[in-house]
Amino acid sequence: MHVTFSAKELEFQEEVRTFFRDEYPDDIREIMDSGDELPPEMQIRWQKILYRRGWAATNWPVEYGGTGWSPVEKYIYAREEAHANAPLFIPFGMTMVAPVIYTYGSEEQKQRFLPDILASNVWWCQGYSEPGAGSDLASLKTRADLVGDHYVVNGTKTWTTLGQHADWIFCLVRTSSDVARRQEGISFLLIDMQTPGISVKPIILLDGKHEVNEIHFDNVEVPANNLVGEEGKGWTYGKVLLQHERTNSANTFRSQYRAKRLRIQASKSVRGAPPLESDGNFMRKLAAVEVELKGLEYTELRTLAAVASGKAPGPESSFLKIKGTEIVQAIDALYMEAAGYYSLPYRADPAVGEGSESLSSLHYFNHRKVTIFAGSNEIQKNIIAKHVLGL
Amino acid sequence: MDFSLNELQTMMADSVGKFIDNEYDFDTRQEYAGSERGFSDDVWKTFAELGWMAVPFAEEDGGLGGGPAEIMVLMQSLARGLVVEPYIANVILAGGILKRFANETQKEQWLHPMIAGELQATLAFNEPQARYELANVATTATQDSNHWVLNGRKGLVLNGGTSDLLLIPARTAGDIGDEHGITLFAVAADSDGLSCNAYATVDGLRAAEITLEGVRVSGDAVLGNVDEGYAALSATIDDATLAVCAEAVGIMYALKDKTVQYSKDRSQFGVPIGSFQALQHRMVDMLMACEQAQSLLMWAVMTNAEGSDESRRAVSAMKYMIGTAGQKLGEEAVQIHGGMGVTWELDVAHYFKRLTAICTLFGNADWHLDKLAT
């Protein structure tokens, strides 16, 4: 029983660390460290730096341009990336639709879509949820009717993250209502956002940000060869994708980084006040979160060790999602508490408060979403109850 | 990176598992717990024969050279049987001091017979006024020519009533609370001036209040250097904390499994109660508590085996987790078992009580959280 890395793995860690030290642009780092939103231009610039280094597709097979890293190498990379506080890859193309395309797509689709995803030339968004289909995703109603050589799509998708910037959207659509189970008759369709009949309506979140959208499809004509895999099998493909999404949502390393920064912040005097570390209640709450986080780190390592020895990731991803998101929210609350009165100013111009104090409450509000999205934590508990406990 | 068990660990898990399955069912456990000594001397001999007592000791002392990982495996396996034999008192507590401090003569006299199961020993790490502070030692030892004279009281001495040998931390210098000035003495239980009020504890185990009034021991009774006993005392209590945490994790898994099974077997309103979402989510929480605790345990065991700077914090983190999530899991197990959960008849209540006792042993959740907060 040990968690030491091999010499080769340590060498790799050093290589990654050096890369983040030397190649991570200062202007992007500055915004990331301030806790503010990263402009899309900078996001893409960073993703292209990774592409040129050959490190864009950490989860893809080598034949499509993936890194071919072992699970341990991926782990090391993710940790270094988080501890450098570098931007996360926008997941919709790279980690969500691409695995579906290279697993179930046609040769033509692979050649047409994967290179642009790899090089961050095309921005993707996700069309799963609908106004009437949230946690109960299989009740989705957006229809795609085959007419000649194209589908005619009608319906509404919602909570489409960063859809305002997207060039393409991947959608779960209903191609047949005449089915025994609601999970049947759903298909996986790729749609060009420029197609006539698509309109994007912003949804403003409680922190005042335009992050998600509602997307309407009004007789949108989509070429039939944009269907991935078989018609009616979309649910199966979509589930594969969600498992990727959940494993990534543990956020362990980001949370470690934020907890560490909070401890440093607490050791300093702000505006002449005594350092927060003299407040026993605050420090006990922080310590309690750190304990949970350490547990999560080792739970993730145990999952990783199982995957490295050839086991498929299963419902553990639900566990990581629940714990990981609870911890994200707990840390948000502590940052807000640490800021005190200076958690209250709302985008004051010029800014007030030290560092990112006045953004702390906005993160707290914004991150209410993390226990809701990617299958709410209650849905994750249903999954564990069924598939692990056999209830 | 590797979380699998090595050959010795796998062998131990198998051998303890078989013993629990074949010779230590719940009724048998209850019989031993209710007996006069509170455990079975025959079982204790079996432990010795199977080599379990030898696990954490060096090979030259007749041990198996095991570390925290081996103790973890052993304790998790013993947990399932709610074993009442005094393993912690002898092997981890008394053994922890003896292996660190005993000279060759002392090892011959005390450690070797203890490993052979022929001598019962314990460590009196607590005093009535001390709560969880190890350095809060008011018991005094004063030198009288070649002898030492001990006066004071020791509280909740685990298996104190059946021990032949008591290891007593006593103050030889400094003030109450000072780490320096604590010396460890080996005192025979039948010494003049030593009295013992033995009792059962709520978890079915045994402890005692020990009073020392002018107890005279020779200079050979001193373990280690005079005034310098604290480090070994503290390291031994860390070992013991990890050991009971491993036991607690074993109990948590047992309670989780029993509760899930019960919810499938027990029907109300014409359906198994496990079909109710209100209960399903709580059982998922129990599972997650088990996994988080198991993860922390592995971290704590690995850091302690390496002797890293983090080992002290890892012990506190682990104990905090048991004291919060573990305690909660025990309460949930009882709640989901309904009326049956509050009966003496069902093993669930006894797992719960042992888990509760562990939450207090060697510092409760708040006490350990304070260590982590600073």
pLDDT tens digit at each of 374 positions of chain B:
788 888 889 999 999 999 999 999 999 999 999 999 999 999 999 999 999 999 999 999 999 999 999 999 999 999 999 999 999 999 999 999 999 999 999 999 999 999 999 999 999 999 999 999 999 999 999 999 999 999 999 999 999 999 999 999 999 999 999 999 999 999 999 999 999 999 999 999 999 999 999 999 999 999 999 999 999 999 999 999 999 999 999 999 999 999 999 999 999 999 999 999 999 999 999 999 999 999 999 999 999 998 888 999 999 999 999 999 999 999 999 999 999 999 999 999 999 999 999 999 999 999 999 999 98
- Confidence at residue A248, expressed as pLDDT on a 0 to 100 scale: 59
Domain locations along chain B: 7-87+103-118, 122-228, 231-373
Write out chain A residues lying below 8 Å of B6, CB-based. Answer: 1
- Confidence at residue B1, expressed as pLDDT on a 0 to 100 scale: 72
Does residue A27 have a pLDDT over 90?
Answer: yes
Nearest-Cα distance to chain B for A384, in Å, is 7
Nearest-Cα distance to chain B for A302, in Å, is 7
Residue found under tokens 């420090």: A283
- C-beta atoms of A295 and B293 within 8 A: yes
Superfamily holding B7-87+103-118: Acyl-CoA dehydrogenase/oxidase, N-terminal domain (1.10.540.10)
**Dihedral of alpha carbons A177, A182, A187, A192, sign:** positive
Looking at CATH, the fold of the domain delimited by B122-228 is given as Butyryl-CoA Dehydrogenase, subunit A; domain 2 (2.40.110)
How far is it, in rounded angstroms, from Cα A307 to Cα A296?
16
- Collapse the DSSP code of A3 into the 3-class scheme (helix H, G, I; strand E, B; otherwise coil) and give the result: coil
Select the residue from A8, A75, A290, A291 to test the B interface by mutation, using most B Cβ atoms within 10 A: A291
- Confidence at residue B160, expressed as pLDDT on a 0 to 100 scale: 98
Helix ranges restricted to H, B81-147: 87, 95-101, 104-106, 112-115
- Collapse the DSSP code of A72 into the 3-class scheme (helix H, G, I; strand E, B; otherwise coil) and give the result: helix
Q: How confident is the model at residue A105 (pLDDT cuts 50, 70, 90)?
A: very high
How far is it, in rounded angstroms, from Cα B253 to Cα B243?
16
- Confidence at residue A149, expressed as pLDDT on a 0 to 100 scale: 97
Class of domain B231-373: mainly alpha
- C-beta atoms of B291 and A288 within 8 A: no
Beta bridge partners of A169: A125, A191
The Cα-based distances of A167 to A37, A44, A89, A242, B336 in angstroms read 21, 13, 16, 21, 51
Mean pLDDT score, A224-252: 82
Give the model confidence (pLDDT) of A44-87 as tens digits. 999 999 999 999 999 899 999 999 998 889 889 999 999 999 99
Start-end of CATH 1.20.140.10 domains in chain A:
249-387
- C-beta atoms of B292 and A391 within 8 A: no
- Confidence at residue A77, expressed as pLDDT on a 0 to 100 scale: 94
Does residue A202 have a pLDDT over 70?
Answer: yes
Does residue A312 have a pLDDT over 80?
Answer: no
How far is it, in rounded angstroms, from Cα A59 to Cα A145?
34
Nearest-Cα distance to chain A for B139, in Å, is 32
Q: How many CA atoms lie within 13 A of A227 on its CB side?
A: 23
Start-end of CATH 2.40.110.10 domains in chain A:
123-232
How far is it, in rounded angstroms, from Cα A80 to Cα A58?
13
B331 neighbors B356 (Cβ within 8 angstroms): no
B→A interface, C-beta within 8 Å = 1-6, 9, 69, 260, 263-264, 274-275, 277, 280-281, 283-285, 287-288, 291-296, 298-299, 301-302, 317, 320-321, 324, 369-370, 372-374
Looking at CATH, the fold of the domain delimited by A249-387 is given as Butyryl-CoA Dehydrogenase, subunit A; domain 3 (1.20.140)
- Confidence at residue A4, expressed as pLDDT on a 0 to 100 scale: 81
A238/B189: higher pLDDT: B189
- Confidence at residue A316, expressed as pLDDT on a 0 to 100 scale: 78
Among candidate residues B114, B135, B143, the one with its CA nearest the CA of residue B56: B114
Write out chain A residues lying below 8 Å of B373, CB-based. Answer: 280, 283-284, 286-287
**Crossing angle of helices B68-80 and B230-265, rounded to 10°:** 40
Nearest to B295 among A2, A298, A384 (CB): A298
Cis status, amide bond into A350, omega within 30 of 0 = yes
CATH 2.40.110.10 fits A123-232, yes or no: yes
Strands B271-272 and B267-268: antiparallel
Among candidate residues B276, B280, B278, the one with its CA nearest the CA of residue B260: B280
Q: Which of A245-249, A268-272, A355-359, B151-155 bottoms out in mean pLDDT, i.e. has the lowest?
A: A245-249
Write out chain A residues lying below 8 Å of B321, CB-based. Answer: 291, 295
Mean pLDDT score, A196-203: 98
Q: How confident is the model at residue A246 (pLDDT cuts 50, 70, 90)?
A: low
Nearest to A389 among B283, B291, B317 (CB): B283
Mean pLDDT score, A155-173: 97
Write out chain B residues lying below 8 Å of A305, CB-based. Answer: 1-4
How far is it, in rounded angstroms, from Cα B197 to Cα A136?
63
- Confidence at residue B147, expressed as pLDDT on a 0 to 100 scale: 97
- DSSP code per residue over A269-280: -STTPPPGGG-H
- Confidence at residue A1, expressed as pLDDT on a 0 to 100 scale: 77
